[in-house]
Amino acid sequence: MASRSVARVVAASSLLAAASAHAQSSVTLYGVIDAGLNYISNVQTGRTASGLQGEHQYSFQDGATGGIRGSRWGLRGTEDLGGGLNAIFVLENGFSINNGTLAQGGAEFGRQAYVGLQSPYGNATAGRQYDSVVDFIQPFLSGAAWAGYFGAHAGDVDNTLNTRRINNSVKFMSIDYAGFRFGGLYSFGGVPGSVGHNQVWSAGASYRNGSLALAAAYLNARNPNLSFYGTNPNAGTTAASNNLGSVGSATSPQSNPIYAGYASASTTQIVSAAGSYQLGPASVGLIYSNVQFRGLGSSSGPNPFGYSGTATFNNAEVNLRYQINSALLAGVAYMYTHNSGADNTGSASYNQVQAGTDYFLSKRTDVYLIVAYQHASGHDSLNQPAVAYITGQTPSANNHQVGVRIGMSHRF
């Protein structure tokens, strides 16, 4: 009897040893710290009987509100399950270098948090993740390369610079098939008796061949005030809340006047396409997106201006990046956004030009300079003469705004 027990222990130990040898795993700690000084020519300070009031501003800001890279740290892990299959996970925290507080509305892992399987065909993951517009279109933007959050399309209305993350989502991203990749995401609304309520889905694809790169992506969000714009912990959880922005007050500035007035949309739809061409040290990029806030006046969110119908944004960007040498790059870009307005309001246009340079002191540390100018015209979503709003900053009290940032980032 004793000999049988010993044999079982030896056998179990052998199986555990074999499993341990078979399952190779690793966990990597990584991160970015981005800090800088910003100058903004005019920011709102409030409102009086004569209209919006504003002053110029000097401030110290984390990269997430004006820099090239938002400060973060994360854990990335993988475990070999055999047969070409791996278990994978990412937990990524965003924080502010200003005061050490959590970013993304106070979420502990607000940038990304997912687990899944990696196979010879691609990755299948579940959790809080980036949508297909971010995955496939963002790499073409000047904002992703050298212009930072200053370089987002007006208010990041098309989410190409990743202002919003998608909760409760499942996602697939294929491997590279001779330069072609594809993927998609679905977020469960979780509302009893209504599969479509609060759901979000997206899909995209890209193709690279030598110097040429192309991509396209689509996103559809039902009840977007909560499902798309309300995914951070500090967001409102009822239709009475406006998670897109605010009208401000006598003592506080407005927030996101470009599309804050469209919280009552029943659906937000984003269609986007991009391309780039590399010619030696120079690269030219083109991006277009169409964003529609459909079904205005629904019960999805507040509608203080009584909007109805659809508000449509068309965004276009052309950018040029030049690698001066191995350590120094420079870029310029022009962006145009036109909001056709809802069925019973006027339209607005936003023209922005920006330039920047980035110098790498080492493989992990760089210093950079970004300059942006925006001019607004027409009437915006808050039913007022359109004001300039360089993304990530406080809106201007008038129709123009200049932003300058000097920053430094370090990767670990």
pLDDT in tens, 150-205: 999 999 999 999 999 999 999 999 999 999 999 999 999 988 988 889 999 999 99
* CA 131/CA 183 separation, integer angstroms: 9
Rounded alpha-carbon distances, angstroms, from residue 327 to 143, 228, 364: 19, 38, 11
Where does the pLDDT of residue 31 fall: very low under 50, low under 70, confident under 90, or very high at 90 and above?
A: very high
Cβ-Cβ contacts under 8 Å for 410 (sequence gap 6 or more): 32, 33, 364, 365
* CA 192/CA 386 separation, integer angstroms: 40
Supply the pLDDT for residue 345. Answer: 75
DSSP string, 9-69: HHHHHHHHHHHHHH--EEEEEEEEEEEEEEEEEEEEEEEETTEEEEEEEEEEEEGGGTSSS
* CA 59/CA 316 separation, integer angstroms: 30
Q: Note whether residue 89 is domain-resident.
A: no
Provide the CATH number for the domain around residue 302.
2.40.160.10
Q: Note whether residue 8 is domain-resident.
A: no
Rounded mean pLDDT, 327-350: 93
DSSP string, 67-113: SSS--EEEEEEEEEEETTEEEEEEEEEEB-TTT--BSGGG-TT-SEE
- Residue 299 domain boundaries: 35-71+124-411
Number of residues that this document lists for the chain: 412
Supply the pLDDT for residue 3. Answer: 45
Q: Note whether residue 108 is domain-resident.
A: no
Cβ–Cβ under 8 Å, residues 135 and 217: yes
DSSP string, 142-159: HIIIIIGGGGSSGGGTT-
pLDDT in tens, 242-299: 999 999 999 999 999 999 999 999 999 999 999 999 999 999 999 999 999 999 999 9
Rg (CA), the chain: 23
According to DSSP, residue 329 is labeled E
**Is pLDDT at 84 greater than 70 in this prediction?**
yes
Supply the pLDDT for residue 131. Answer: 98
Supply the pLDDT for residue 23. Answer: 59
Q: Note whether residue 92 is domain-resident.
A: no
> pTM of the predicted model, to two decimals?
0.92
**Is pLDDT at 20 greater than 80 in this prediction?**
no
Q: Note whether residue 221 is domain-resident.
A: yes
Percent of the chain with pLDDT over 90: 91
Q: Note whether residue 161 is domain-resident.
A: yes
* CA 258/CA 243 separation, integer angstroms: 13
Percent of the chain with pLDDT over 70: 94
Q: Note whether residue 85 is domain-resident.
A: no
Q: Note whether residue 16 is domain-resident.
A: no
Supply the pLDDT for residue 179. Answer: 98
More confident residue, 43 or 190: 43
Domain count of the fold of the chain: 1
